[in-house]
Structure 1
Amino acid sequence: MKQLNLNQHIFKVLSCVSVQDCFEDAFDRIPAWKDSMYHALGYSSILVMQATMTFEQRDIQAAMSTIKEALNTCHRFRKRNSMVGSLLSKQSNLQEEEMHAELCYAECLLQKATLTFVQDENMISFIKGGIKIRTSYQIYKDCQNVLNSTQDVNGQSDAFRQFEGGVKLGVGSFNLMLSLLPQRILRLLEFIGFSGNRGFGLSQLREGASNQSLRSILCALTLLFYNTYVSLILGTGEGNLEEAEALLEPYRHKYPKGSIILFYSARISTLRGQFEKAVSRFEECVHSQSEWRQIHHLCYWELMWTHSFQQHWVEAYHYAQLLCAESRWSKAIYVYQKAAILSMMSEEEVKKTGENIVELFRSKSGLKERTRTKPEPELNPVCIQNSNLTRSKNIILLCLQEMMYVWNGFTIVGKRPDCAEALLVTIEKAEEKLREDPNPSEYHPDDSCLVQMLKGLCLKHLGRPLQAELCFTQVLSSERRIRYDHYLVPFTLYELGLLYKQQGDFARAASYIENAKTNYKDYSMESRLHFRIHAALNSLKGSPVSTP
């Protein structure tokens, strides 16, 4: 098989080095090889990345057309009459070129499935995308069997090492992502052939990241994303930052100005509570390239939150405003967060912006406007409900803190005792205003429970567990008085379980988390909580007392 070295072109695009024509260079050189499956795959990868970042229909259509061509190119190199599921019977007859063709074909199918979801959100598209994912998954499993059976014979060749790297990327990613799914969803997927093992998935990706293949950087980026985002948003916030830094280190030395390298370096600093360092690196990332504005938007989002963690509201508002003006991700979330940040600012500061907080919260059209992919749809009911003008004026002060919790931001703030203490002071001020309100509204019980849950989170991270427990139990004792924010009780049960886990009381921790899992349904952000519950119960399995 004629090996084609695309590492420099693909990695240029992934790392977005600060060279003026790096994207044009990659686009110009890769299509020149019309009969190469790897050039076809590389070119489609760039276009898919662009389409998923811009959400522009012309980019989606261009990417979809290129993927179809790439699938045809890969299919020409596959074994004649190749059928999914038949690889085992002919694995001894597969040539190296045919092995790579199966691998590239599986990757192209995943890309096409991704674009199918982005292109249209109806049920038919969902089914079509699901079928492509299942086909890709089955090919990866067969490739794993080919890898295991031919390793002794071909293990030393460069072509085989490239094939091995691709298998580890695919099999590792599938196992890791499937393992994140709550048990009730995974049981349904297992019925149609899916299965996920987190330990195996992580080991495959780690091996893939270290084997110096074409896909090593993709294995490293997958692990970085898992440790810095997935484990925080869909888990308990226990990402492996030491591993993330070790993965990033060689690329940081080789590509010190690469925007993705700078971005992850800044993200790690944020998760360590090094907010000032993170701000500097995110700003450096913004200035490292100007071709893909969407990378700027990722930085703006992080800068907005990093300043919010420090209660630098004017700076946070600046980035929230940039997101509202430029990004196509979700106007609903951006408008709401901008209003929430403004509510934390002084009257004089708000007046300088020329914004009207009441009008922003009233802006139903802004809150309902979304991109075609409906990102974070389960957050929109929270935004819209809280924007209701009959909501207590006192609780407007905590809209931002509520969204901070949704993104698991209290776990990050907890790394900085000074910021956690300042956040506690803000929450206690809202608590005092609620207590002194002469005309409590119908939202008063809900608002009081939100205050207690957020206060409990601060106290937990400040190392005051008894006070935190008291706040959480106040929420639970007020369950029957809650009229609208029914998510507060199951989320509080979950947080109380984590508090007991922190104290070493694993049996009680499991009991409270299981209660949140089995006895509550049909509340805002239910799926998000079930992801976190799944991660928490898995973390308890290795404890002295396992989950019931």
Structure 2
Amino acid sequence: MAEGFAKNGMEPIEFDDVRLALAGINLMLNNGFQESDMLFNKYRQYSPLMSAGASFVSTMHAVMTFEEEKISAAMQMLKSTENLCATDEGFLESIKSKLGSKPASKETAQLTVAERLERQIIIGDCQLYMAMLTFIKQELSAYVKGGWVLRKAWKIYNRAYREVTDLIAYCEWRTGQKDLPSADTLGRLLGAVSFGFGLFQLTISMIPPSLLKIVNMLGFRVERDIGLKCLKTASKSQDMKAPLATLSLLWYHLVATPFFALGSGGAEQGLCEAEKILRENEASYPTSALFLFFKGRLLRLRCQNEESLAVYNQALEACKDQREIQLLCVYEISWSQLLKLNFAEALSGFQRLKEESRWSQCYYAYLSAICYGAQGKIPEARDMFKQVPKFAQKKRNPLELYTVRKAQQFLKAGKKNQTREYVMLLALEVLYLWRALPTCDTDDLQKMLQECGKVTDQSLISMGFLIEGSIHSILGNRDEAMTCFEAALAKSSSPHQEQHVAPFACYELGVLYLEKAEDGYKDYDFENRLRIRVHAVLRHMKDVPVEQPEPEEDREVEDDD
């Protein structure tokens, strides 16, 4: 039970803040953002836990909207929550109190061990959320400041996690002592700290190896498996962040893993884990737009595109009062239409995102231009490609660098070469680079193969072979795929070819040669000896840290009128 605080100038009241906080998060996840906001704000001055809930909802709004006002408001609320949780004594004073050289403050002395740990964890959460909001600015100074705040969060989580686990071990040993926290309280505290600790581990483990060295120098020691284990622990707890830990696991299995090809257990293992999580939570969140969103992702990754579209539309209807989640659903619906080569339907969604989303209008303008051109509407595509550089906001953003460069290449190709076939290959290139081709059904892949065969522009030849090889590989045509990848490599050295074709073709060939060495031959001398070597190489590759996309070289986005 929580009580109000005299220093707030408010009458003390009693209420079950643990139950209310969890109810507030569940309200938010069941599409009741306004109701959740009202509940948390009603009690936020009385309880650090309710204040933390209000701050999280505010942070969610800021992250989804990218609006400066909401980011500032969330920052202020997080600082307010920190102040509510902070005791009068700092680190040195707390040491003196423990040694007996300085008495603890009256307020600190009144706190139980569980309350002190809860406040410590909330402060760590606030630091983590403030770092996230700082990184949104995508500026060098913001990265430096955000990194420093992250370091503070890491130290708090590390200390709190150690203290909670030590306390659990101590309580198991001193079972008869009455003044110790209950098993339920300890389980909730472990869930609370495991969420931040696990999310931190998981997120940092996915940064590029070159940056990971710097992270290790700053004192971070991260492991993805520990992060996943902690999030699973948090998701099973009674803490208010349990549902958030569940969503974090779904994000890892259905967004991060498929895109970055993470993990050594294969994509299907992650999909099975996500399906299990969704099934376990279906009764608690039957109409939750966020859970429906992830269900749609699962169906799409399993190539059930029609079913996926139906679920995304269901999610869109469920969040009609929440604009930011609506835009997430609109993006997925448009992307699903793009996978089915339904360019007219995809265009309407990307146009809406270009107008309403505050995230990368440049990217949505590029996708809109592709949808126009793939329908044969070249004048409209040309006009939209001209807008792409004008929407670029961050001059060193890799995504915007790519889209601006591709748009400018199309405009410089001349009207004679600005054909539907040209733009169609640009569409397939996006699907390839975004690792979306494996989620297309066989009929659509066959249509894409036909489009690759229509390429006549010499600057696109190597890209055409790369995409054609990838489609053959997905369809199980290994020999045809290898022929295409070898052709892509051969053509990539010609003038005006895309620089990324050669490394991608090498990667694709390497994967196929490994498969061929393992499965393509049998009944030859020393077969087992070679198989052992192949498996050793595969194990070594799995043990090597997965390289995520490295930061792009600092280049300026040119504004081409």
Normalising by the residue count of structure 1, what TM-score does the alignment of the two structures yield?
0.82
Partner of 2:24: 9
User: What is the CA–CA distance in structure 1 between the aligned matches of 2:251 and 2:214, rounded to whole Å?
Assistant: 26
**2:258 maps to 1:256:** no
- How many Å apart are 1:47 and its aligned residue? 0.7
User: What is the CA–CA distance in structure 2 between the aligned matches of 1:372 and 1:48, rounded to whole Å?
Assistant: 26
Structure 1 contact 84–135 (Cα < 8 Å) conserved: no
Q: C-alpha offsets along residues 417-463 of structure 1, whole Å, 9 cap, x if unaligned?
A: 22222222222223xxx1xxxxx6xxx2x411100100010000000
Query: Rg larger in 1 or in 2?
Result: 2
Partner of 1:402: 429
Q: Which secondary structure does the structure 1 equivalent of 2:493 belong to?
A: helix
Structure 2 contact 398–551 (Cα < 8 Å) conserved: no
| Alignment CA distance shift 1:301-1:500 (3 Å) | farther
| Residue identity (%) | 23
User: What is the CA–CA distance in structure 2 between the aligned matches of 1:30 and 1:372, rounded to whole Å?
Assistant: 39
Letter in 1 for 2:489: L
Partner of 2:175: none
Q: C-alpha offsets along residues 266-290 of structure 1, whole Å, 9 cap, x if unaligned?
A: 1111111111111111111111122
Structure 2 contact 253–274 (Cα < 8 Å) conserved: yes
Match among 172, 192, 196 for residue 218 of structure 2: 192
Partner of 1:180: 206
**2:126 maps to 1:126:** no
User: What is the CA–CA distance in structure 1 between the aligned matches of 2:93 and 2:131, rounded to whole Å?
Assistant: 17
Q: Which secondary structure does the structure 1 equivalent of 2:412 belong to?
A: coil
Partner of 1:486: 499
Letter in 1 for 2:430: M
Partner of 1:37: 48
| Alignment CA distance shift 1:185-1:378 (3 Å) | farther
| Alignment CA distance shift 1:408-1:479 (3 Å) | same
- How many Å apart are 1:149 and its aligned residue? 1.2
User: What is the CA–CA distance in structure 1 between the aligned matches of 2:336 and 2:118, rounded to whole Å?
Assistant: 43
- How many Å apart are 1:501 and its aligned residue? 4.1
Q: State which drifts further: 176-185 or 282-291.
A: 176-185
**2:273 maps to 1:243:** yes
Q: C-alpha offsets along residues 224-269 of structure 1, whole Å, 9 cap, x if unaligned?
A: 0011111122226826111111111232222211111111111111
- What are the ranges of 5 or more consecutive residues in structure 2 without an aligned counterpart? 3-15, 100-110, 173-181, 519-532, 554-561
- How many Å apart are 1:131 and its aligned residue? 0.6
Mapping 1:370-519, distance limit 5 Å: 370=393, 376-390=399-413, 392-393=417-418, 394-413=421-440, 416-430=441-455, 434=456, 444=458, 446-483=459-496, 485-503=498-516, 505=518
User: What is the CA–CA distance in structure 2 between the aligned matches of 1:11 and 1:317, rounded to whole Å?
Assistant: 34
| Alignment CA distance shift 1:99-1:272 (3 Å) | same
Structure 2 contact 382–411 (Cα < 8 Å) conserved: no
User: What is the CA–CA distance in structure 2 between the aligned matches of 1:500 and 1:382, rounded to whole Å?
Assistant: 33
- How many Å apart are 1:527 and its aligned residue? 2.1
Q: C-alpha offsets along residues 330-360 of structure 1, whole Å, 9 cap, x if unaligned?
A: 111111101111222145xx8xxxx711111
Q: C-alpha offsets along residues 15-42 of structure 1, whole Å, 9 cap, x if unaligned?
A: 243xxxx333222221222031111110
Match among 155, 168, 176 for residue 151 of structure 1: 168
Partner of 1:357: 381
User: What is the CA–CA distance in structure 2 between the aligned matches of 1:386 and 1:411, rounded to whole Å?
Assistant: 27
User: What is the CA–CA distance in structure 2 between the aligned matches of 1:304 and 1:84, rounded to whole Å?
Assistant: 57
**2:314 maps to 1:290:** no
Partner of 2:9: none
- How many Å apart are 1:528 and its aligned residue? 7.8
Letter in 2 for 1:408: R
Partner of 1:208: 234
Q: C-alpha offsets along residues 281-302 of structure 1, whole Å, 9 cap, x if unaligned?
A: 1111111122221111111111
Partner of 1:117: 135
Letter in 2 for 1:129: G
Q: Which secondary structure does the structure 2 equivalent of 1:481 belong to?
A: coil
Structure 1 contact 30–43 (Cα < 8 Å) conserved: yes
User: What is the CA–CA distance in structure 1 between the aligned matches of 2:81 and 2:328, rounded to whole Å?
Assistant: 29
Structure 1 contact 491–529 (Cα < 8 Å) conserved: no
Aligned residues: 489
**2:62 maps to 1:51:** yes
- How many Å apart are 1:215 and its aligned residue? 1.9
| Alignment CA distance shift 1:496-1:195 (3 Å) | farther
